[in-house]
Amino acid sequence: MISLTLKALLGALAVLLIALLARSKSFYIAGLVPLFPTFAVIAHYIIGTERPAADLRTTAVFGLWSLIPYAIYLLVVVWSAGRLPLPATLLLAMLAWGVAAMLLIMLWVRVYPT
């Protein structure tokens, strides 16, 4: 239960930091905060303690490939910001991320079968 509470506090701290930065002169730094590897560290710790080192390496490689859907999300936001209303921009970007993530998983299971 303490572990779950700590994770919730980390998430709340990240949201607070994003909100504060978004209101500052350096608002663009708010886009960097979600990229802090909080959840990656948690996932890597769990995998590293419960599975062999090779599985941790595989997870890290998959993490590198997972940057592609995020880049696609950002490209859609860049392209559609100002052209579409904000809700449509974010919805389209999330949809693009979802499609890219699904394609990545489909490709991954073919290239790295378990």
pTM of the model: 0.81
* Model pLDDT, residue 6: 84
- Give the count of beta carbons closer than 10 Å to the beta carbon of residue 19: 11
CA distance 59 to 37: 13
CA distance 7 to 27: 25
List the chain domain ranges. 53-114
- Higher pLDDT pick, 6 / 16: 16
